[in-house]
Chains A and B, each alone.
Chain A
Amino acid sequence: MEAYRETVMKLGFGLQPVVEALNKALEENPEAPAVIHNDKVRSYRQLCESAQNIATQLTEMAILPGERLALDIPRSIALYELMLGCLIAGVSFMSLPRGFDKSEQIQEAKRANCVGILTDTELPLNGGLSLRGIGTFWKLPESNRGLVRSDIAGDEVYCVRTSGTTGEPKIVPIMRGQLSSFLENSQKALKIDLYAKWLWTHDLSFDYAIWETFGCLVHCGCLVVLDENKKPDARSTQRLMAKAGINVLSVTPSEFRYLFSSEAGSVNWEDYPLTEILFAGEKLSTSTFSPFFNQLDKAKVRLINAYGPSETTVFCATHVVTKGDLALESIPIGKPFPGIKFELLNSNDLEAENLELNGADVQDLEFGELKICGTQVFAGYEGGEPLTDGYHSGDICRLDEQGRFVFIGRSSGYQKINGFRVEPYEIEEYLQSHEKVDEAVVWVENTSNQGDLLLACVRGCRDVELSTRELRLACSKLPPYLRPSRYRLFDDKQWPINERGKTDRMSLRRSMYEQEEY
């Protein structure tokens, strides 16, 4: 245990929850499994040794504390060890999306001012250095970042790219302090048992993976890696969950529907020793899990809805689903974590009205854009202005009678249709309130010869007949300018999901064109 003290201190520097968990694990049972992938296992002791080894190699490659390393490594034990090795070395990591080709990878890494790319493949760059057991480090020509100040070197833990639904994706750097807050807050709020088995299914380029990995670590858990090749196969994933005895499952609502759709056969929840299913990344509608609620409730599986933009470090509010929530359309996101403040900015009038809410005094059932302040909020985008007054999430939320926040939809900042101001999320919400509709995506298309059109893609409820005519008649109750002109219906199987496991809005928009090409 003494041998690892220095390793743990360096790894967990500024990350108290990590230090505590590692010390606990190494003291109580250093041979306990820390991570499993297929038939390979690493104990906590081995994990620390590997991480230290990697840190030493990184230093030998002259990758200095405070520098950023782009990663192109598949989900594996090696990647997990690499993350921890980076922590020890004070090097920040940014995982490149797995779908990127080599030139995109190099471009992204340059844009993020990374010192180089660590990959398990070859890159068209000079002089690769080998990192034993993991891959090759390809140095990029001098970055614009310059030398990082020594007092903050090692402060940054990781960067993620935002999905960039509006404009170019931006880079979000997350510091030890923010991550530490997140780990402490999530632990206190959710009280997940220690020593559980957690499943790691998300790509590290999506910060949900930070929760899966570091969350498992601070709970002294055993991280089970879902092989990248197995992920698209729902049955294979289910089998792994049963065989490995997964207790904590983290999914997006779309992924949950995919995993447990009728395609994969009927689900016997007794096969899985689940204790928690966490939902994050998208709005959670009750219909996603309601067919299974009673069985899950009986099996004492907690369903948790987690909310938060990447800019506020993974997530910053959670809500545990109760039986009473079944009557609702969408599940609340709950109340913000300690040290986090939510404000609803109401811009119905010319002047924005701010309603300060700490969960207590709630006068009006207002709604507005959610502004987030607190210890988990980042300091600003890479190359952008420092944040001074909290983060404007672009998410429209409201407060319910019990003082819980409810997510309504994304604001695109209003759009205009033939002179009228419209907010697509309002129409989405209206459509979603229809009993036969599960999810709706609405947007404005500015055409060259037919003016502005409001378009809608709708996913109907499972096993329910729905026609576009029904939707038109339902929308006839809306003001004329809010009625979509064209609809496209999808069922579960056809609804596109992107590599982050969320509804692929861009793909939906493109599909409208395909439909019209003859």
Chain B
Amino acid sequence: MNRKSTDQKALIREVEQLLNETDVRPTDNFIELGGNSFLALQLAINLKDRDNIEVDVARLLGNTLECVLITTDVERDKTQSIQTICGQTTVEVVE
């Protein structure tokens, strides 16, 4: 089983768990399904911490789930700043 497809499955599972939804597809958009930016960050943190899977949060918000995984170095550099934030294990809500 190649890495990308297991990662993709883990991503779908994580979305399902966060939204408590059983029917999530790679062609879905997280926000359209009812996700929001907080949940998106939580998702990125969970996948990074638990499975070492990297997710492009901007794409999570704007694209379909199949486009969201970061797999190349180029992509990784582009999202460096977001990774730094996601390096924390909790997100603090600032009023």
Is the Cβ of A483 less than 8 Å from the Cβ of B34? yes
- State in angstroms the CA–CA spacing of A468 and B34 once bound together: 11
Residue interface mask B13-48, A partner, CB < 8 A = 1: 000001111110000000111111111001000000
> Knowing A467-B23, A472-B21 touch, does A451 contact B34 (C-beta < 8 A)?
no
Partner of A515, one of B20, B32, B93: B20
Please tell me if B80 contacts chain A, counting CB pairs below 8 Å: no
> Knowing A476-B32, A483-B34, A486-B34 touch, does A469 contact B23 (C-beta < 8 A)?
yes
Is the Cβ of A516 less than 8 Å from the Cβ of B20? yes
Is the Cβ of A468 less than 8 Å from the Cβ of B36? no
Please tell me if B90 contacts chain A, counting CB pairs below 8 Å: yes
Minimal Cβ-Cβ distance residue in A for B31: A480
Q: Quote the shortest CB–CB distance from B53 to chain A (angstroms).
A: 19
Q: Quote the shortest CB–CB distance from B65 to chain A (angstroms).
A: 13
- State in angstroms the CA–CA spacing of A488 and B39 once bound together: 18
Most chain A CB within a 10 A radius of its CB, from B18, B20, B36, B38: B36
Interface of A is mostly: mixed
Chain B residues positioned under 8 Å from A472 (CB to CB): 21, 32-34
Is the Cβ of B34 less than 8 Å from the Cβ of A485? yes
Please tell me if B10 contacts chain A, counting CB pairs below 8 Å: no
Chain A residues positioned under 8 Å from B33 (CB to CB): 472, 476, 483
Chain B residues positioned under 8 Å from A451 (CB to CB): 36, 38-39, 91, 93
> Knowing A418-B37, A485-B34 touch, does A469 contact B91 (C-beta < 8 A)?
no
Partner of A450, one of B32, B34, B38: B38
Is the Cβ of B36 less than 8 Å from the Cβ of A485? yes
Is the Cβ of A480 less than 8 Å from the Cβ of B36? yes
Is the Cβ of A487 less than 8 Å from the Cβ of B36? no
Chain A residues positioned under 8 Å from B20 (CB to CB): 486-488, 515-516
- State in angstroms the CA–CA spacing of A483 and B34 once bound together: 5
- State in angstroms the CA–CA spacing of A483 and B29 once bound together: 13
Chain A residues positioned under 8 Å from B91 (CB to CB): 449, 451
Chain B residues positioned under 8 Å from A321 (CB to CB): none
- State in angstroms the CA–CA spacing of A472 and B42 once bound together: 20
- State in angstroms the CA–CA spacing of A484 and B31 once bound together: 10
- State in angstroms the CA–CA spacing of A418 and B39 once bound together: 11
Q: Quote the shortest CB–CB distance from A211 to chain B (angstroms).
A: 41
Minimal Cβ-Cβ distance residue in A for B37: A418
- State in angstroms the CA–CA spacing of A353 and B91 once bound together: 41
Partner of A418, one of B32, B38, B90: B38
Chain B residues positioned under 8 Å from A196 (CB to CB): none
Q: Quote the shortest CB–CB distance from B15 to chain A (angstroms).
A: 11
Minimal Cβ-Cβ distance residue in B for A512: B20
Minimal Cβ-Cβ distance residue in A for B42: A450
Chain B residues positioned under 8 Å from A454 (CB to CB): 34
Chain B residues positioned under 8 Å from A475 (CB to CB): 34
Minimal Cβ-Cβ distance residue in B for A451: B38
A residues 463-518 near B (Cβ < 8 Å) are 467-469, 472-473, 475-476, 480-481, 483-488, 515-516
Is the Cβ of B42 less than 8 Å from the Cβ of A468? no
- State in angstroms the CA–CA spacing of A35 and B23 once bound together: 56
Chain B residues positioned under 8 Å from A469 (CB to CB): 21-23
> Knowing A451-B93, A476-B32 touch, does A485 contact B39 (C-beta < 8 A)?
yes
Q: Quote the shortest CB–CB distance from B37 to chain A (angstroms).
A: 7
Chain A residues positioned under 8 Å from B38 (CB to CB): 418, 450-452
Most chain A CB within a 10 A radius of its CB, from B34, B35, B37: B34
Is the Cβ of A468 less than 8 Å from the Cβ of B35? no
> Knowing A418-B37, A451-B36, A476-B32 touch, does A485 contact B42 (C-beta < 8 A)?
no
> Knowing A450-B42, A451-B93, A480-B31 touch, does A468 contact B21 (C-beta < 8 A)?
yes
- State in angstroms the CA–CA spacing of A454 and B93 once bound together: 16
Minimal Cβ-Cβ distance residue in B for A480: B31
- State in angstroms the CA–CA spacing of A425 and B32 once bound together: 20
- State in angstroms the CA–CA spacing of A488 and B37 once bound together: 22
Chain A residues positioned under 8 Å from B21 (CB to CB): 468-469, 472, 486-487
Minimal Cβ-Cβ distance residue in B for A448: B93
Q: Quote the shortest CB–CB distance from B63 to chain A (angstroms).
A: 14
- State in angstroms the CA–CA spacing of A484 and B35 once bound together: 8
Chain A residues positioned under 8 Å from B90 (CB to CB): 449
Chain B residues positioned under 8 Å from A486 (CB to CB): 19-21, 34
Minimal Cβ-Cβ distance residue in B for A446: B93
- State in angstroms the CA–CA spacing of A480 and B22 once bound together: 20
A residues 438-461 near B (Cβ < 8 Å) are 449-454
Minimal Cβ-Cβ distance residue in B for A469: B23
- State in angstroms the CA–CA spacing of A157 and B32 once bound together: 54
- State in angstroms the CA–CA spacing of A88 and B31 once bound together: 64
- State in angstroms the CA–CA spacing of A473 and B34 once bound together: 9
- State in angstroms the CA–CA spacing of A469 and B18 once bound together: 14
Minimal Cβ-Cβ distance residue in B for A481: B36
- State in angstroms the CA–CA spacing of A179 and B31 once bound together: 52
- State in angstroms the CA–CA spacing of A82 and B91 once bound together: 60
Give me 24 A-to-B residue pairs in the complex whose CB atoms sit less than 8 angstroms apart, sorted by A's number: A418-B36, A418-B38, A449-B42, A449-B90, A450-B42, A451-B36, A451-B38, A451-B93, A452-B38, A453-B36, A454-B34, A468-B21, A469-B21, A469-B22, A472-B32, A475-B34, A476-B32, A480-B36, A481-B36, A483-B31, A483-B32, A485-B34, A486-B20, A515-B20
Extra 4 A-B pairs, beta carbons < 8 Å, given A451-B36, A480-B36, A486-B19: A450-B38, A452-B38, A487-B20, A488-B20
Closest 4 pairs between A and B when the two form their complex, measured CB to CB: A451-B38, A469-B23, A476-B32, A483-B34
